[in-house]
């Protein structure tokens, strides 16, 4: 009992671990050897302090105790880890031939095949299996570090909630029974010299149109601007089976219901341009012309070269690339992101919600109160129904098969030519005939646009030779199209020439007859008054 009472905790720890055969010089006694086996020789219970008598042990300080405890604990953890590794290796030996492994082998191979497209982003001399394991591990550690480092005790102002007002849109009923909501600006139908129909972009609604356009400008050019909610957006009924062909015919039925008998212009801005392209492809006989602003193209179009695709992707943020990949490969995951951003019921900024990279002019515009007021109202109307499905459908439409290529909008006419005529046509551009949409197509592209890069417009110009491109130096994605009176005047002057005002409608025959009746009755009244005056005299 006395021996046990004089034993230190280091010696008790050594007795628990046991002797693993490691010995260090200068250690005396059985207990010292055991302690050296654990702690690397940090305690020598048999040494005497210099200048003292025999049998007097060295008094250890708190620093030595702490160091010894840490080293002993590390040694035990190392031995424990080695034991667990040996157990796991023995347990997994032959596991590839087990029933569970045979059942998982097929789904694992299928998942690996679907994810094999990501191997294109790896160097050619790297093993994909090892690389992606390392990437996953680094990403996991990075998320942990960011989560720990993002802890901030400073109070943060909570975002405001989106205010969604009561329904107020005008609607028409389509032939399939759906209702579509629309908005009119400018002159009335009977006075309109030009009619424009503008489908909205991704996170938008019928309230957008041409943001900030002055009503006096529409009156000056005699223009009528019609905007509408895409299916499932705003107050329009959803259409789960929609595609770009049905989108074009929705536009056609809307024009007929609103009394647009002549051809109309289509306005395509950003993601809304895919519906404008569809109108040029499917209903070209009803379209007078197209005004495109930073128009989108399918980034997976087979007609796009590798260099054009590379220039497009390199200007996008990492998150936006991920959203495109999800929309094409795993669209079922998109609602998870949407409900965390614009479907959360809170206000937010375009660059964060849409994962956009913005230039200097765009940032200046988006920080202004005028744009913020417009953005909050437009987004609130866009998410009125609170359903993620229309947004998923729209995102999938952008990156999936459109049913046509942009090169199909204008195609060279094929004729049965003789050999010599064919050789001659190769060297004579003027004699080539084109079919498809032959009306004017104007494209305005900001050269500092980082949302739809200029490389997209270069591709469009290559495959649609009849398009006229207006390059805008130092302009971004929003700066020229939104809240710029001078820009809007330049656009309308380019499309319509000198402003001629609205059309003065010809009066109906019944109106002419009523006017003539009034003119003939006035003299009779005058005669009666003269007779009364003469009688009094």
Q: Which residues of the chain have pLDDT under 70?
A: 1-60, 92-101, 111, 114-115, 117-130, 132, 134, 145-159, 413-432, 506-537
Q: How far apart are CA 222 and CA 188, in angstroms?
A: 9
Residue 51 contacts residue 61 (beta carbons within 8 Å): no
Q: What are phi and psi of 472, to 5 degrees?
A: -115, 105
Q: Looking at residue 146, what is its pLDDT?
A: 63
Identify the helix (H) or strand (E) that includes residue 412: strand 410-412
For 13, residues 6+ apart whose C-beta sits below 8 A from its C-beta are 35, 38, 72
Q: Looking at residue 74, what is its pLDDT?
A: 85
Q: Looking at residue 39, what is its pLDDT?
A: 44
Task: Map residue 439 onto helix, strand or coil.
Answer: coil
Quick one: tokens of 327? 């929309």
Nearest to 442 by CA among 468, 461, 480: 468
CA 436 to each of CA 126, 411, 447, 467, 499: distance values in angstroms, whole numbers, following the listed order: 48, 6, 29, 13, 29
pLDDT tens per residue across span 163-205: 898 999 999 999 999 999 999 999 999 999 999 999 999 999 9
Predicted TM-score (pTM) above 0.85: no
Q: How far apart are CA 383 and CA 390, in angstroms?
A: 10
Q: How far apart are CA 42 and CA 508, in angstroms?
A: 111
Q: Where are the alpha helices (DSSP H) in 367-508?
A: 369-382, 389-399, 419-426, 454-463, 485-496
Q: How far apart are CA 28 and CA 459, in angstroms?
A: 83
Q: How far apart are CA 267 and CA 492, in angstroms?
A: 12
Cα–chain center distance at 168 = 28
Residue 451 contacts residue 296 (beta carbons within 8 Å): no
Exposed, middle or buried: residue 323 (CB in 10 Å: 0-12, 13-18, 19+)? Answer: buried
**CATH T-level fold of 169-406+436-505:** Rossmann fold (3.40.50)
Strand 179-186 relative to strand 170-173: parallel, antiparallel, unpaired? antiparallel
Q: How far apart are CA 195 and CA 399, in angstroms?
A: 30
Q: Where are the domains of the chain?
A: 114-149, 169-406+436-505
Q: Looking at residue 509, what is its pLDDT?
A: 59
Q: How many CB atoms within 10 Å of residue 9?
A: 10
CA 173 to each of CA 181, 236, 264, 517: distance values in angstroms, whole numbers, following the listed order: 9, 10, 20, 41
Q: What is the DSSP letter of 470?
A: E
Q: How far apart are CA 5 and CA 9, in angstroms?
A: 10
Reading phi first (left if > 0) and then psi (alpha if -120 to 50, else beta), residue 474 is in left
Quick one: tokens of 221? 């050019």
Q: At what angle do helices 9-17 and 62-92 cross, to 10 degrees?
A: 10
């Amino acid at each position: 009992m006395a021996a046990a009472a004089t034993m230190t905790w280091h010696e008790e720890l050594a007795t628990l671990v046991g002797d693993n055969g490691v010995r260090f010089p200068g250690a005396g006694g059985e207990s010292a050897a055991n302690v050296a086996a654990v702690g690397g020789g940090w305690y020598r219970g048999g040494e005497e302090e210099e200048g003292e008598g025999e049998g007097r042990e060295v008094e250890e300080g708190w620093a030595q105790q702490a160091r010894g405890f840490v080293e002993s604990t590390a040694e035990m953890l190392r031995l424990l880890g080695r034991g667990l590794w040996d157990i796991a290796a023995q347990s997994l030996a032959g596991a590839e031939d087990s029933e569970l492994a045979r059942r998982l082998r097929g789904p694992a191979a299928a998942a690996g095949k679907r994810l094999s497209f990501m191997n294109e982003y790896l160097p050619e001399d790297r093993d994909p299996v090892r690389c992606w394991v390392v990437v996953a591990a680094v990403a996991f550690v990075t998320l942990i570090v960011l989560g720990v480092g993002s802890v901030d005790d400073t109070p943060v102002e909570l975002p405001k909630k989106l205010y969604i007002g009561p329904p107020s849109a005008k609607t028409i009923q389509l032939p399939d029974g759906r209702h579509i909501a629309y908005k009119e600006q400018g002159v009335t139908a009977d006075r309109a010299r030009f009619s424009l129909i503008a489908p909205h972009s991704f996170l938008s609604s019928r309230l957008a149109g041409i943001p900030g356009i002055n009503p006096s400008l529409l009156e000056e050019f005699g223009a009528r601007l019609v905007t509408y909610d895409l299916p499932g957006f705003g107050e329009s009924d959803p259409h789960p089976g929609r595609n770009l062909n049905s989108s074009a015919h929705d536009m056609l039925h809307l024009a007929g219901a609103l009394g647009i008998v002549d051809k109309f212009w289509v306005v395509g801005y950003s993601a809304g341009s895919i519906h404008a392209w569809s109108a040029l492809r499917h209903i070209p006989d009803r379209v007078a012309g197209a005004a495109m602003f930073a128009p989108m193209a399918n980034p997976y179009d087979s007609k796009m070269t590798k260099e054009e695709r590379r220039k497009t992707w390199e200007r996008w943020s990492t998150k936006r690339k991920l959203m495109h990949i999800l929309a094409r490969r795993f669209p079922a995951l998109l609602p998870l992101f949407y409900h965390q951003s614009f479907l959360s019921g809170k206000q937010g900024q375009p660059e964060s919600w849409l994962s956009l990279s913005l230039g200097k002019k765009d940032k200046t515009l988006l920080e202004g109160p005028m744009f913020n007021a417009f953005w909050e109202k437009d987004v609130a109307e866009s998410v009125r129904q609170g359903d993620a499905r229309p947004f998923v459908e729209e995102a999938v439409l952008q990156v999936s098969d459109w049913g046509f290529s942009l090169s199909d909008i204008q195609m060279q006419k094929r004729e049965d030519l003789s050999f010599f005529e064919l050789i001659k046509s190769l060297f004579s551009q003027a004699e080539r005939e084109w079919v498809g949409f032959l009306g004017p197509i104007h494209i305005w592209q900001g050269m500092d646009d980082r949302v739809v890069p200029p490389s997209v417009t270069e591709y469009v110009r290559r495959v649609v030779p009849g398009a006229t491109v207006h390059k805008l130096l130092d302009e971004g994605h929003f700066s020229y199209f939104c809240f710029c009176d001078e820009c809007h005047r330049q656009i309308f002057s380019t499309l319509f020439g000198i402003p001629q005002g609205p059309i003065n409608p010809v009066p109906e025959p019944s109106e002419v007859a009523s006017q003539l009746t009034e003119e003939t009755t006035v003299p009779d009244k005058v005669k009666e008054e003269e007779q009364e005056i003469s009688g009094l005299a």
